[in-house]
Amino acid sequence: HSKVVHVSETENLSNFLLNIRLQIPGFYYDKEKRKYFRLLPGHNNYNPLTVDSIKKKEIDKMKKDLSQSKQGSSTTKYKNTGESEITEHFQCELPVPMFQHSLQIGHYSSQQVSRLQHERMVNSVQTNTPMQLTASHLLNYRYSHLMADVKNDVLCTVIEFPKSCCLCLGELIPVKNPRTNGPIQFLDSNDVVKDSKVTCVCWAGPGSSAETAAVLYSSFKSESGISEISSFSTNPRHNIRFSYTLHSTAWTCAWSNNHQFPNKVAIGASRKALMVDVQTQRALHFNTHKSDVFTQTFGLRNPLLINGTRKGHILGFDLREPSNRSSCIKLQQELSVCCVKFLTDENYLVASDMASKILLWDIRALKPVIQFHGHTNTHLQLSFHIDSTESVIYSGGMDTLIRFWSLQDGHLIRTVAPPFKEHYRPPLVQYSEEWTKDNFPGIVMANEKDLHWCGI
């Protein structure tokens, strides 16, 4: 028996060594031939082998494999026997009375069925025939941010030009056929941010609609930063006026919907974090250990402000103790933190870093409980999103692929290749099961030039 174990361990070690790919400067590793080949300078047009060309070739191969595979399957395979039985019932379309009877006698839990329904919705979205929402008639522009408030039927994009940025608002409208008619109608652009780069956008106020929408954004130019609220409302009663200037780069911002601390704006800047009162403009500074703050979020029920820093720290501050500037929660990611978000149960926090690690943290135990695998990253700031039912977490990776994971156990539900031809940056993406009042699933994807809609 010991010899069998020894042989299996040797095989595992040999497979591990074969799969290892060391990064040797001036060489690249061919997986098929399992050999290193020399790279020549990339500025020589005659040389077909450059680092960028090899990466593009790998990305194109992954997209081709995804397009050939059956990505539109209606169910997900599981190793757990109980869940595989439920999946089989979904495949065989078990009659509703029999399925309800199985639930009543306790064969399956309602949580298992609900989770599988959400995952089935993700797989039901057809990405092979996307519909383009905007025409590429402008020159020298790109989409840099995309966010949606599905409950209030609004969507906001940030379009960057060489010397300015523009905030555009879209309204979600009911459609008869969501597969052929996109549910988004762009109204008009609002504020134009001149000579600045927008670093972060979020909704301002407890709820937004197409008539009362307000967007909080942070931007910077040269050595100064600013955080402002852009209001799309034509009614002066709904306008929120706020502008705060910093003498350092403003990386991020967040709006507080906490009932104990309303009308507060958090700003993450170089080597500091602060919270500003919208009405009085009074600022409260927090100790970030002299590290830049890249992402922030407020607790909705708990009076907490979470900051993700360049050093990989996740720092939580209790807003009820303004005199105590030190953090009451401290978590550690591998590299710089890109994005942090609370779940409805604010004992749990999801965070991502530049090492492409997306973790679900239990802030009571101060340790991660689930890791979402699949992404790779070297230098870009990758964000993620959570659907309104908190069943699915999704994100666009550096390999330009969009991945959907189960928030319950972390398994990969689906991988989507965006329909963009020449695009090698992380795509912007928004998914929901309840676009407009018709409650149908769909995905909005944006690259540097185009905005696409994929429905059922």
- Is 429 part of a structural domain of the chain? no
Pair (338, 189) in one structural domain: yes
pLDDT at 376: 83
Same domain? 179 vs 307: yes
User: Among 172-181, 403-412, 429-438, where is mean pLDDT lowest?
Assistant: 172-181
Select from 158, 161, 227 the least CA-distant residue to 186.
158
Residue 393: inside a domain: no
Q: Determine phi and psi for 204, rounding to 5 degrees.
A: -110, 130
Q: Residue 450: which pLDDT band, with cuts at 50, 70 and 90?
A: confident
For residues 86 and 60, membership in a common domain is answered with no
Tokens 């029999």 belong to residue: 98
Q: What is the pLDDT of residues 10-25, one digit of tens each?
A: 555 554 444 455 667 7
Boundary of a domain, candidates 380, 396, 428: 380
Please state the domain count of the chain: 3
pLDDT at 261: 94
Decide which of 334, 354, 380 is a domain's last residue.
380
Question: In this structure, are 241 and 190 located in the same domain?
Answer: yes
d(CA 253, CA 294): 9
Residues 189 and 287 in one domain: yes
User: Which DSSP string corresponds to 140-184?
Assistant: S-EEEEEEEEGGGTEEEEEEEETTEEEEEEEEE---S-TTTS-SE
pLDDT in tens, 174-231: 665 655 556 666 655 566 777 888 999 999 876 556 667 888 999 988 778 899 988 7
| pLDDT at site 81 | 34
pLDDT at position 33: 76
Three-state SS at 248? coil
In a domain, 111, yes or no: yes
What's the mean pLDDT when you consider all of the chain? 78
Q: Are residues 186 and 301 in the same domain?
A: yes
Q: What's the whole-model pTM score?
A: 0.80
Q: 60: phi > 0 → left, psi -120 to 50 → alpha, else beta; which?
A: alpha
* Helix, strand, coil tally for the chain in percent (to 5): 15, 40, 45
Residue 86 and residue 59 share a domain: no
CA 29 to chain centre: 31
Domain boundary among 333, 356, 380: 380
The pLDDT of 281-308, averaged and rounded, is 95
* Domain extent at residue 56: 16-66
Please state the rounded mean pLDDT for residues 148-167: 83
Residues 366 and 282 in one domain: yes
Residue 75: the pLDDT is 34
Measured CA to CA, the distance from residue 140 to residue 159 in angstroms comes to 10
CATH number of the domain bearing residue 169: 2.130.10.10
Structure tokens at 47: 């040389």
The amino acid sitting at 419 is: P
CA atoms of 12 and 263, how far apart (whole Å) = 57
Q: What is the pLDDT of residues 18-71, one digit of tens each?
A: 445 566 777 777 777 778 777 765 544 545 566 666 666 776 777 667 666 644
If asked whether residues 246 and 362 sit together in one domain, one would say: yes
Asked whether residue 7 is domain-assigned, the answer is no
* Dist. CA 283–CA 241, nearest whole Å: 16
> Which residue, 237, 280, 285, is CA-closest to 262?
280
User: Could you tell me if residue 98 is inside a domain?
Assistant: yes
pLDDT at 205: 77
Taking residues 338-367, what's their average pLDDT?
95
Average pLDDT for residues 283-309, to the nearest whole number? 95
Whether 150 is in a domain gets the answer yes
